[in-house]
Structures are given as C-alpha cells and as structure tokens.
Chains A and B, each alone.
Chain A
Amino acid sequence: MSEHFDILVVGAGPAGIAAAVSASASGKRVGLVDDNPAPGGQIWRSGASLGAGARKWLARLDATPALRLQGWRVFGHPEHGTLRAECNQDCRDLRFGQLILATGARERFLPFPGWTLPNVMGAGALDAMVRGGLHIAGKRVVVAGTGPLLLAVAAHLSRRGAKIVAICEQARLRRFVPFAAHLLKEPAKLLQAAAYSVATRGSRFYTGCWPVAATGNEKLESVTLQRDGKSWDVGCDYLACGFHLVPNLELAVLLGCRIEDGFVATDDLQRTSSAHVFCAGEPTVIGGVDLALLEGQIAGLAAAGSKAEAKKLAQRRRRHLGFVRALKDASALDPQLRKLATEATLVCRCEDVSFSALREHACWRDAKLQTRCGMGPCQGRICGAATEFLFGWSSALAESNVRPPVFPAMVSSLGIPHEYTSPDDSLTPAANSIGNTKETP
C-alpha cells in the first residue's frame, strides 16, 4: 500500500514544526521529513537546555498524528507530486498533495589562511557540537563573524563553562546604532540581547574586528585578529566563525520556485510560484525563530485550506519584517573581508581549490569546469556562498546551477525505489538505530 501525504513538510526546525502542527489541526494526513536524528532544526537542538517556547512547540508536535520521518534526506523530485529521500542505505518516494518547504539556512563561511584547520568551525556548528556532547568547559574559544548568532553562541558556550577569549563582530559600531534603536522597540528582542550581555560578561567584545589567520599543527592553536589595521595573536582551542546565514534554496529551485534577491518568493499565504508548493522560514527571509514560527503556521494553515486564519497571522508577519531589515543592514559584510583570502588560501574545501586558481575565472560555471570548484560532495554549498561574496559570482544559489540529486545519493537510489508503505515505524529510526537498519526488511 503506498503512502500519500495530503501535506508534506520538509524540515523540522521551528518553521517546519509550526507548519506540521498547524496543518495537522485540519485532520489531513501530514508528513514531516527531516535529516537530523530529532526534530528541532539547528536552533532547537538538545531537549535538556531548551526554552519554554521550544518545549511548547515540540510538545504540540508530539500531540499531532503527523508522521515523522527523522534521519531522512530529500534529494530528488523524480516526478510531479513526489519527492525522493534516502536514509542510510534505504530510499523511498514520498507523494504529496501540498508541499511545505522549511529547509532552513546554513552559515556563510569566508576563507582566510588556516580556516581549513580542524577546530575552526561555524559559530552555529560549535554550538551544535556542544549540544551534541562536546565538552567545552575550560576550553578557550574565539567567536568571530557577524550577526546576533555570535552573541547567542558565546552566551551558550559561556554557560557551559567555555572561556570566551574574544567576540569579534565585523560590523562597525555605527552600524549597530540603528540596530540597537530598533531593539528598543522590540521588548522581547531587547530582553534577549540583555541576557546575552550578562552571560558573556568578562569576554572582550570587538566591533570592526575579524580573524586574518588561524594557525596550528594538525589543529587550531592560535588565531590572529585584526582591528583598525592592528593585528594580534590569541591562543585558543576553538574558533567559532560565521558570517551570517544563507538560505538553503536547492530544493525550492529544483521544484521550480521563483527566487527573488536570493530568497524564495512567496505571497502573503507563503505560496511560492510553483503550484502546491509553500515555503516558510529562512529560505524566504533570514528572520529568526519568531518569524519562522509565524511563517510555518501561515503555510500550514494555508496548505490545509484555512485561509482566513492564515491571513490573520500574515498581518503579524508583516510587523516582524521591520526587525529583519534592521538586522540585515547591521550585518552587511565589510568589503575589506574580501582581502582575507591570500593566493594560497583554499576556497573550495572539497576539491582543495585555491583563491589564486579561482581568481582568473569569469564566473562560477567557468570556475567549476576549469578547477572542479564546487564539484565535491557539498556541491558548492560552502564555497558557493564564499565566491558569491569574494567574486560577485551568482553561484550555487542560481537556478541554472541546481540539478538533481541535490545531495549526493547512492546510484541505486536513482532508479525506482519503494514507495513508503504504512503503517510501520521503519522510517523513524530511533537515534541509535543506525546499526540495525541493515536488518530492516
């Protein structure tokens, strides 16, 4: 018996959870597919240290009959109304009437000498590692890059006992003034900002500052920071480094959704230009949890046919967008950051392609063909965002550059897989079940 979801949600972060919860209220058959072991996305990882808001939404999800497919990664769109997903060595087709994309965002990394050393990682990545069991107590951490994520990560790591040696925000102080003014109009956000400043007390917070080199033998030992032309070295165990977020657009592009200014274009009801496809959360705008939750609810309600309710929430969404604009302005990347990469600095980490090898090329496609940049397993997800900033190339995010499979998949998965059959729980491997999946019939 084949499974057909009235509404299928891709991504179980805040937007996807809100979409699944809101859509389930209609009584329609809802599926939620996600590539992590547990729902929550990047921001709501690890049940132990979650806030009340996250716990409430996860409990609401638990209370729905929505079928959850954790550990499954969608990589293809073999035919109209069908997505294809893989889990370990299993592959299934998931059919849908309405689709809600809540694929989230990833961090933007900028190449600088030494950024490929072990223990140099994303700001959100180090946070995820700590939530995934990494002992950070007593470790020296430099947090660098841009945006409010830096402070959130520093605060969390500090609470876990890390010594935050420095927080380096690339934006200038004057850019923060309009942003701070906007915070004053947003009590909830203000409270959050205050909490960060308390938790990170004792750390050095620099603006207009960034790492110019990471050094170490086999792994990170020291970071060179630079501010106003002056540079100095600091010893550290981890460098958590993220230059804002870029949306995960690949699946939306594969499904033919129109992209505007680097984001999925949607109407007031989160409908994309592609029929029966909705989009919610960071792929439509980098706006944080509150906005993602609103968009998820709107998409879930609209996909289930509750348009009047969805429209009410759409009004609240418009109010949030003001904060988002302020944030975008405050985090605009300093053009000097384009000089961080030296001739020998690797830009593409999958294929080890250097800055000097790329510089002479006219566009992303040319560079790919000549150097293999962006042709490794990440498919340009890391170097694409970097070259977009370094060279102005429209890259992996451009429509013409997305082809199936949008993630590496087994050759056998490209044929005709099984359709998901119900009911059983073989699609929801418990966190620890990977060793058993070979025996799954």
Chain B
Amino acid sequence: MPEQARSLVLKVNGVPVTVASGTTVAVAILMTGAPTRRSVTGEPRGPLCGMGICFECRATIDGIPHLRACQINCAQGMEVLTS
C-alpha cells in the first residue's frame, strides 16, 4: 500500500521518531520506550485499552493537553509530550 509506505518524522519528548504513515501517536510513544505517563503515585504506565476509554495514553500533542494518543495518527513535525 503506497499510503503505508510513506514515512514521517515527529518528536516525542524532543526525540525524533520515524514512523510509517497511519501510525498512531500511542505507538510512536511506545517506540521510544518511554511510559505514556506517570500515575498519581509515580508508577510508569502505558496504553491499556487502545480505544480511547482508559486515558492511560493521554499526552500533550502540538500543545493540546490530555489527548488520547491511541486515537490520533502521527503527522509530520508533530510535537508530543508525555507527563
């Protein structure tokens, strides 16, 4: 699929990540090995439900906080910050 073959670069916590077009932001965060967030008691967390229900993957994307990274596709030049 030509759509799948296209790659793009975004930044996760300032680190450039190259992904195939159609990759979700949650996957891009997983690729960096970083947790998506720290819990209220400091535990590392990653995506749980993968469908916008659990909020474990919430991140700041292009300056907008609390977005569910599993429901948003990566875009060229996107800036993602995890907490």
Contact = CB atoms under 8 A, between A and B. Distances in A.
Contact of B55 (A36, A121, A218, A350): A350
Interface stretch (A188-196, A387-395, A432-440): A432-440
Contact of B23 (A36, A128, A132, A218): A132
Contacts of A78: none
Contacts of B58: 377
Contacts of A435: 62, 75, 77-78
A432 B40 contact: no
A382 interface: yes
Given A129-B27, A434-B62, A219 B47 contact: no
Given A133-B20, A352-B40, A433-B75, A122 B50 contact: yes
Given A219-B44, A351-B40, A377-B58, A432 B53 contact: no
A368 interface: no
B50 A48 contact: no
Interface in B37-82: 39-41, 43-56, 58, 61-64, 66-67, 70-78
A37 B47 CA distance: 17
B interface bracket (residues with beta carbon within 8 Å of A):
35 or more
A64 B35 CA distance: 41
A282 to B, nearest CB: 12
Given A36-B52, A118-B44, A377 B66 contact: yes
B53 A129 contact: no
Interface string A5-46: 000000000000000000000000000000111000010001
Interface in B11-36: 19-24, 26-28, 30-31, 33, 35-36
A231 interface: no
A117 B56 CA distance: 11
A67 interface: no
Contact of A349 (B54, B64, B72): B54
Interface in A89-138: 89, 106-107, 109, 116-122, 124-129, 132-134
A51 to B, nearest CB: 16
Instruction: Give the interface SS of chain B, mostly helix, strand, loop or mixed.
Output: loop
A88 B67 contact: yes
A381 interface: yes
A129 B30 contact: yes
A121 B74 CA distance: 21
A322 interface: no
Given A132-B26, A218-B35, A431-B73, A88 B50 contact: no
Interface residues of A, number: 50
Given A433-B75, A434-B61, A42 B44 contact: no
A88 B40 contact: no
B76 A48 contact: no
A35 B48 contact: no
Contacts of B43: 116, 346, 352
A48 B51 contact: no
B55 A377 contact: yes
A381 B51 contact: no
B71 to A, nearest CB: 6
A382 B24 contact: no
A64 B41 CA distance: 49
A109 to B, nearest CB: 7
Contacts of A116: 39, 43, 45
A124 B50 contact: yes
B73 to A, nearest CB: 4
Nearest to A124: B50
A378 interface: yes
B66 A48 contact: no
A128 B4 CA distance: 16
Given A106-B53, A382-B54, A349 B44 contact: no
A434 B27 contact: no
Given A129-B70, A218-B35, A346-B43, 8 more contacts: A42-B51, A48-B1, A73-B52, A125-B49, A128-B51, A382-B49, A382-B54, A435-B78
16 contacts: A37-B73, A88-B67, A106-B49, A121-B47, A122-B50, A129-B30, A132-B70, A133-B74, A218-B35, A218-B44, A350-B40, A378-B55, A431-B22, A432-B74, A434-B61, A435-B62
Interface of A: 35-37, 42, 46-48, 71, 73, 88-89, 106-107, 109, 116-122, 124-129, 132-134, 218-219, 248, 346, 349-352, 376-378, 381-382, 408, 431-435, 438
